[in-house]
Amino acid sequence: MSNCFRVDQETQSEHIIEMEIQENQQHESSSWSEPESSTGVGYSGPLSGPLVMTTNKRSNSSKKSARFKDKSNDDYVEITLDVRDDSVSVHNIKGGDSETAYLATRFERKTSNSSLSSQLSFRLRQVSQELKRMASSKKFDKFDRTKSGAARALKGLKFINKNFATNEGWSEVDMRFDQLASDDGMLPRSRFAQCIGMNESSEFASELFDALARRKGITSSSITKSEFREFWEQITDQSFDARLQTFFDMVDKNLDGRITGEEVKEIIALSASANKLSKIQDRAEEYAALIVEELDPDNLGYIELYNLEMLLLEAPSKSANPVTDSRILSRLLSEKLVPTKDRNIIKRWYKGLAYFVEDNWKRIWVMALWLSICAGLFTWKFIQYKHRAVFDVMGYCVSTAKGGAETTKFNMALILLPVCRNTITWLRSRTKLGIAVPFDDNLNFHKVVALGIAVGVGLHAGSHLTCDFPRLLHATDDEYEPMKPFFGDERPDNYWWFVKGTEGWTGVVMVVLMAISYTLAQPWFRRNRVNLPKTIKRLTGFNAFWYSHHLFVIVYVLFIIHGYFLYLSKQWYKKTTWMYLAVPIMLYACERLIRAFRSGNKSVGILKVAVYPGNVLALHMSKPQGFKYTSGQYIFVNCAEVSPFQWHPFSITSAPGDDYLSIHIRTLGDWTSKLKYLFSKVCQPPSVEQSGLLRADIGQGNNKPRLPRLLIDGPYGAPAQDYKKYDVILLVGLGIGATPLISIVKDVLNNIKPQKELEEGILEKKKPFVTKRAYFYWVTREQGSFEWFKGVMDEVADYDQDGVIELHNYCTSVYEEGDARSALITMLQSLHHAKNGVDIVSGTRVKTHFARPNWRTVFKHVALRHTNERVGE
């Protein structure tokens, strides 16, 4: 049967509602009273006014109608229901808006034990109360959703990713339900998060479960598959009003249509916990008071749904995202219309190859030259021994062994050059070789040459042990005759003869030491990535790598001895090993002497110590006399109390113009952990105005604590130091990797004021500062990381009035903009920053973005704003 009822949307607080019910059935009549067996579904807003009920019976016909009449308004919302034997569904809706449509769907429910008429009457009462609340809210002006910021916010407040909210998504969730449901086919509340894919936000998902259950009158802690399907349809609904209502229900736990300050506090703490923002969680009460103060100016003690909508839609209008002018925006849109992928496979391959060569041409020519030299040396020696008498006995084995030995001599000399740091820094800074030579890849080239040494040693030792020596041992007397000048009149009778000789034991020892050093230098052992027993694991790590690498001193001594006592070369001028090694060893020895002398005279005084969240130790040191450096460079640090021999590199975070030297150290291994422990002992908890977990300002006060003595060596060149060559610089830092970039930001900031004064004629003319614009993107996982460089961020925000430096902080622990789990954090961030000028996530003047950056958008943004300019990354 079809049933129709009409509801007038009320606009006054006092009203009279008259309801008439007409129903004809053959056997029984239904009552408008709420059934006792009902689960007591909650509703928003009280129901006032008398309720009048009438029942009429007629044979062979049945009809239900409900009329809600207001004295002051004759507007109606008409909802037609299709009532069948065991279900009720919405047939048609006339009048009202999207909220009315959402309310109407609550009629759709299959009957259970109670009668259909009882359930229908109960739900009619609920919806009447909801419509009354909606009608009363009409007296407030609705927020203009056509605003640009609001348009973006309407796409937000998503509980489930849009791509997952499809039929395919339901199929996957349906399979999970079957796997997670208990034996009785019910899904418990504890497994709801896992079922909908919110494993990392189980607490948030549990609150979502409770909100959906309250709305549908479910009091059990488990749900059936049909109920779960209703939940899924609700949280995947793309309608903003439906999503807003669901979020409101999460906060409004008693479904009275009003949110109190305590409920706001609870949802702030829940959102902060889901996004791993412990500091916001600790200050949830303070931030709740801020929201209530903003949305409840009349001090009513609560806020309503329209208040929440206003806060949500206003927040994006004050977003920290970069804004481009209309001309650049139009160009950006036109760029998106151009297909980026060529359909022609050959053209696409050629274009990719061209980009690769353009980015790596320095590496390509260096690698090509190195491989050519190695191949040339191997071929030269191979052919040379092919024409000697020993070839008749040992064959191609001796040619291969000697070819491998020649490449090994060359690579043993070459491998020292990439680690001559002073020489590379001088060549990078004082010469133009950096245009063609990739000095930034010195350590990578060092590793490549080490691989070449391993190949050469394998060819040399393998050919001797598996081919040369067995052939010599099994040669006839006539075949051995030409070998007597090299191996003696008596032919060797076993392997031991070769091993006990100087040539043999030096070779064996070298191979063993090289194997140890090469193995412990691999990332799996150097960074303790391999799960080994504790007794064996102590022999790995950075300490093992550092000490084993210094076995090279013994290796080089043995290498020279091995190259002098040769079986097949007796003339001194044919023993070329020392010729290869002479210059590189002398250069490297001078490097080590300079380091030792310089570091011994560069003992620094500690000015300030700070321990920050994330296991970061910040040290401010006095700058040694005559110490000059460029932003982006690094120094080596030694602490004798930790280890008298170990030197570790750290990027400089202070700017050249500062009167101190600073570094930030993240504790990742034994050495850094011990260093942090030593300095933490002299620190105290900071004052209210200071940041960090522990601090010690050594320069203040008379009682100066005893501190570990530090030695520094440097500075040394790094890729980031070339930023001054570019008009625009794009700086991207990940976590503690932002340390060299912080120094660059401070240097650009320090040069802004002198550059202005130079342009105004206040200062004398000097070489202008080339960099005109800087973009700094810092991506970190932890909220506490922002304390590391809080002072720098605030200084840029205060001093850089012209916007020369554009700062963008990203916290990846927070869910992306538009996700319901971060929606309240976004609202609170905009509100707090607008009122106090401080970001709630970073604690700085710079607003924080959530999730990871869209690098394609970032690069296009920079490229379109700076056409025909040199941009350095």
CATH of the domain at 664: 2.40.30.10
pLDDT of residue 509: 92
570-587 pLDDT per residue, tens: 677 778 888 899 999 999
Peptide bond into 715 cis (omega under 30): yes
Q: Do 837 and 711 reside in the same domain of the chain? A: no
Domain boundary residue among 720, 740, 766?
A: 720
pLDDT of residue 761: 52
C-beta of residue 679 within 8 angstroms of C-beta of residue 643: no
Q: Do 729 and 772 reside in the same domain of the chain? A: yes
Q: Do 286 and 156 reside in the same domain of the chain? A: yes
Structure token pair of residue 546: 């550092």
273-315 pLDDT per residue, tens: 888 888 888 888 888 888 888 877 778 877 777 777 776 666 5
pLDDT of residue 451: 93
Measured distance CA(195)–CA(205) in Å, rounded: 10
Measured distance CA(793)–CA(805) in Å, rounded: 10
Residue 298: inside a domain: yes
Q: Do 254 and 266 reside in the same domain of the chain? A: yes
Domain span at residue 844 reads 721-872
pLDDT of residue 318: 44
CATH value at residue 178: 1.10.238.10
Residue 746's nearest CA partner among 628, 658, 863 is 658
Q: Do 99 and 180 reside in the same domain of the chain? A: no
Which single residue is written with the structure tokens 């190695």?
374
pLDDT of residue 73: 47
Residue 843: inside a domain: yes
Domain boundary residue among 137, 159, 194?
A: 137
Structure token pair of residue 865: 């704003």
Q: Do 681 and 727 reside in the same domain of the chain? A: no
Residue 678: inside a domain: yes
Q: Do 117 and 200 reside in the same domain of the chain? A: no
CATH value at residue 857: 3.40.50.80
Predicted model pTM: 0.69
Domain boundary residue among 720, 739, 774?
A: 720
Length of the chain: 873
Q: Do 235 and 127 reside in the same domain of the chain? A: no
pLDDT of residue 161: 60
Residue 474: inside a domain: no
The residues of the chain scoring below 50 in pLDDT are 1-73, 109-114, 132, 135-143, 146, 148-151, 316-326, 337, 763
Residue 382: inside a domain: no
pLDDT of residue 800: 75
Count CB atoms within 10 A of the CB of residue 112. Answer: 11
What residue type is 272 in one-letter code? Answer: A
Q: Do 53 and 184 reside in the same domain of the chain? A: no
Residue 474's nearest CA partner among 382, 395, 574 is 395
Name the packing angle between helices 240-251 and 820-836 (round to 10°).
80
Residue 697: inside a domain: yes
Q: Which H or E run contains 829?
A: helix 820-836
> Could you give the number of structural domains in the chain?
4
Residue 413: inside a domain: no
Residue 321's nearest CA partner among 708, 873, 693, 851 is 851
C-beta of residue 707 within 8 angstroms of C-beta of residue 579: no
pLDDT of residue 309: 72
Q: Do 672 and 803 reside in the same domain of the chain? A: no
Q: Do 740 and 855 reside in the same domain of the chain? A: yes
Which single residue is written with the structure tokens 């625009």?
728
Q: Do 777 and 683 reside in the same domain of the chain? A: no
Alpha-carbon torsion (625, 626, 627, 631), positive or negative: positive
Residue 634: inside a domain: yes
pLDDT of residue 410: 94
